[in-house]
Amino acid sequence: MGASKLFNKAKKAVQFSLKFFHKIVDKNFYRSIKYTSYYKKTKIDDRVIFYESFQGKSMIDSPYAIFKRLINDTNYKDYKHVWALNSRDNLYAQIYKGHKNVEFVKVHSDKYLKYLTAAKYLINNDAFPSYFQKKENQVYINTWHGTLSEAISKDLKEERGQLRNIQRNFLHTDYILNPNKRIANRLVESYGLEGIYAGNVVVEGYPRTDLTLSSNKEEIKEILTKSLNVDFNQKIILYAPTWKEETNNVEDISDKINELHSNIPIEYQLILKVHASLYERLKVNDSLREICIPEWIDTNELLSVVDILICDYSGIFYDFLITNRPIIFYLDNHEVCHSPDESSQDLKELPGPICTEINEVINEIADVKYYMDFYKNRREKMISAFCPYDDGNVTDRNIDIIFKSKHTKNVYPIKNDKKTILMYCGGFLNNGITTSAINLLNNLDYTKFNVVIVEKEKYDPVSTQNLKNLNHHVKKIYRIGSMNLTIREWLLHNFIVRKGLRNEKLHKHIPKQSYRRELLRLFGNVKFDIAIDFSGYVPFWSMLFAFSEFERKNIYQHNDMLSEYNKIINNKYKHRSNMNIIFPLYKYFDKVVSVAKNTRDLNVKNLPKFLPREKAVYVHNCIDANKILRQKNEEEIIINEQRDVASMNDLNDQEKLYKNRIIAPDENNINFVNMGRLSPEKDQKKLILAFSQLAKQHENIRLFIIGEGVLESELKKLSISLGLYDKVIFTGQLSNPFYFINKCDCFVLSSNHEGQPMVLLEAMILNKPIIATDIAGSRSVLRNGYGELVDNSVEGLIEGMDKFLKNKLPRKTFNYELYNIEALNMFYREVCDYNIQNMDNVNKGV
C-alpha cells in the first residue's frame, strides 16, 4: 500500500475516532443509547402506570384526574404510579410524595427512560420526547389538552411540520381521548390521521372536567390559600388571557390587568391564570405576583371555586361552561373584527357578553346576575355541542375503557380498507424526481389508496413550496429526532456508511433490527402495505425500506445509474459512496423500478451483479398536462433570487452582468430553449458550443437555458468567451417555466444520460419541436416520431438545430391523456400489484 493511501486511511480513522468521541460525550446521544438499552432489555410491568403532563412541568389536566381516581380506588391498590415531574416544589407533589406506590422522576433522567420502557400504561396530555417509541404490549393513552377551534385546525394543517412530534406521538397511541365527536374529527383531520391511525378514538369527554364538577372545594380553597393570598369571603373572578408570543405585548397586558384589578367591585377578588411564559414575566410586578396562580395548580380544580370567568376565545371557557356560572369574553377589537368566517359565527353564539375594552368588562361584572337567564339558550346549545359527556363520571368511563376493555359505542377505530402506501421522495428539491413525485401523487386514485410521504425534519423555502403543490389527500410525516441505537449498532451503521455494502460478507453485520426499530419510532402502530423508495439516491431511507417488513417494497431508478455512479462534480464522484450502499440493497426489494424501458434495459446490462432481471421493471412517469397548459398562458415569471449567490463569487465584473439578467423570447428571433440542472450530465456546455457555430451563420437565433446548478459560473464564462453574451440567456430557476418554453420555438436536450426526461414530455404537451441527444431515456420518449434524436456530440446538435432552421424536423401530436392512463396502470400493476379495471376517473386525482 502506497504512502498516500496509508495516510488517507489513517486520516479517516482519526476523523472517525473524533466523531465517535464527540458523539459519546453528547448528552442527547448518551440518552438515546441509554433509552435503547432499556427498550431492548427492560420487561414491561403490567402494574405500572406512567403519567406526564406538558413535558413534566406539573401534575395537572386529565392525567392528574385519572391518577386521582386510580390512587383512591381499591381495585388498583397494587398498581405503582410514576409521575414525570421536573420540580416537586408544589403542594400537589407534597401531598403524594409519602405514598409508597407513587414515585416522581425528572424528564430525561435514567429513571424516566427506564419507566418509559417498563410501564404497561403510558398517559400523556401532550407528547413524549422524540426518542420515545411504544413497545409491543404497552398501552399509550393520549388525553390531549385542548379544544380545537376552526382557526386552530386550519393552522395545524398549514403548519403541521412544526407539530411533527405530536403527530408522531398520536401514531403510537392506543387511545386518544376527546370531549366530543366534532373535536375528535377535527383532531384526526388536522394531524393527518385519516386512514392510517391504528388505535381507538374515544369520545367520552375529558377526564379533567370531573375535577371541576366533583372536587372537594374546601381542599382546593386550602391549597389556593397556602399558595397565594386568596380571600374566599369574597367572590372569585378568574381572568385567563391567552398568550400569543407573536402579537401580545407584556406591558399592554400588564396595564390591562392592573386596570381591571383596580376597578372590580369591592365584593370580588381577581386572580390570574396565564401561560407559563407570561407568568414568568408578570411575576416581576409586585401587585400582579400576588394574584398569579402558579402553573402547578390544576386549572379544572381551580374552576370549581371560581364565580366568574373572564377569558378570550380559548378552550378554558368550554371547561367552565358546565358550572353554569357567568363568563365574560374580553377580546381585542382586531380579533372581533377580523376573525375568519367560522370563528365570527362562533363568536355570535358565545354564552356571555363580548367586550373589547376594560371598562366594558367592569360594567358587565355588575350585571352578571342577569346572565344565567339571558344566555341560557346559548349556554345549553354550546354544552350540548361541546360538553355532552361532562357529567362528573367521565374519568370512570375512560378508566373502564382503558383498564377493563369495556368499550362503549363512543370508542371506534378510523382505519379503513384502502391500501396504504409509504413513500420517500428525495427531499422535494427542484429536480426531475420531485416533478415526477408530484405528478404521480396528484394523479393517484385516493378512493383506493392512502398515501403517506415521509421526509426530513427541516425544509428550505424551495422544498416547502414544492410540498404545497401536493394533492391535499397526501399525508405528510416528518422525521424528527434520530435513530435509537446501541453503541454496537451505531458503530456498524457508520461502518456501512463509510465502507458501503459491495462486499457481500458485510451484509451479515447489517444492523437490520435498528432500521426496523427506526420505522416503528417514526410511525408507531401504522401498518403500511407498500413502501416505495421513490428517490433511490439516499442510503438512509433505502436501508430503512430494504429491511422493513412491508408486504411490498420497491425502489426507483430515475436514471442510467452506472453513469450516475461515475458522475464527477468538482473533481469528486457525486454519487459513488451512496451507490456503493444502494446498489447492493436492490436484492432486498421486491421490484427495482426504472422510469423507461430503455433505461431499465441499460441498468440491467450495466449492473448485472446487483440487479436481477426478474426484479427489474419499468413504469413511466406521470405528467400534469392541465397544469402545463394552464401555466403556458400565465405571463408572470418568478425568478429564484438566490440562484446566483454561489455561482457569482468567482465572476469578474463583466461576467456579473449575467446576474438577474432576463430577456424574454422575441418573436422576431428564432429561440431555442433548454431546461435542466446546470450539471455535467445535462451537458449544456456541448449545447453552447454547438449553438456558437450556428450563431456565426444566423444573427437572429437565441438560446435560453432554464435552471441552476454547480456549472452556472463555468457556462456563463464559456458563453462570454465565445462572444454569445447577448445570445445565450440564463434565466435561473423559474416558478413557471412553461410560459417561457411556450414562447420559444424549439426545445433542445443535450443530456449525456437520463432516465425518462420529464422536460421532453412537457415540451411534447406544449407541442414544441424537439431535438435530443440519442441516449436511452430520450429514445424511450421520442422513438415514435415525437422529436429528432441526434448523435450525442456537438456535431449532432449542430445537425439537429440546422434541420429545425430548415424546417425539416418531424412533428407529431402527443396524446397525453392516454399516456397518463397507461402510466398510472403501469404504476398500479408493477409497483402496487393492483389492477384497476375502470380507469375513467383516475386521471382526475380524486
| Nearest one of 170, 220, 214, 218 to 191, comparing CA atoms | 170
Cα distance between residue 782 and residue 447, in whole Å: 34
Helix (H, G, I), strand (E, B) or coil at 105: strand
Which pLDDT score, from 0 to 100, does residue 650 have?
47
Per-residue CA distances from 386 to 240, 321, 326, 624 (Å): 20, 9, 17, 43
Domains and CATH numbers, the chain: 42-205 (3.40.50.11820), 218-386 (3.40.50.12580), 424-618 (3.40.50), 626-814 (3.40.50.2000)
Residue 52 neighbours by CB under 8 Å, 6+ apart: 63, 83, 84, 107, 122, 123, 124, 125, 126, 128
Residue 73 neighbours by CB under 8 Å, 6+ apart: none
Which pLDDT score, from 0 to 100, does residue 370 have?
82
Residue 417 neighbours by CB under 8 Å, 6+ apart: none
Cell triple for 430: 427542484
What is the secondary structure of 11-39 as a DSSP string? HHHHHHHHHHHHHHT-HHHHHHHHHHHHH
Which pLDDT score, from 0 to 100, does residue 171 have?
97
CB 428 within 8 A of CB 466: yes
- What values do phi and psi take at 66, rounded to 5? -65, -45
Q: Chunk the chain into consecutive blocks of 10 residues (it has 846) and report each block's average pLDDT, rounded to whole numbers.
A: 58 60 76 96 97 95 97 95 94 90 97 98 96 97 75 44 84 97 93 94 97 92 84 91 62 79 89 78 68 90 96 89 94 57 63 92 89 90 94 97 96 90 94 95 95 86 89 94 94 94 95 97 96 97 96 96 94 94 97 96 97 96 94 67 38 48 82 96 97 96 95 95 94 90 96 94 96 95 92 97 92 93 96 68 42
Helix (H, G, I), strand (E, B) or coil at 166: helix
Helix (H, G, I), strand (E, B) or coil at 311: strand
Q: Within 10 Å of residue 545's Cβ, how many Cβ atoms?
A: 25
pTM beyond 0.85: yes
| Nearest one of 233, 206, 203 to 221, comparing CA atoms | 233
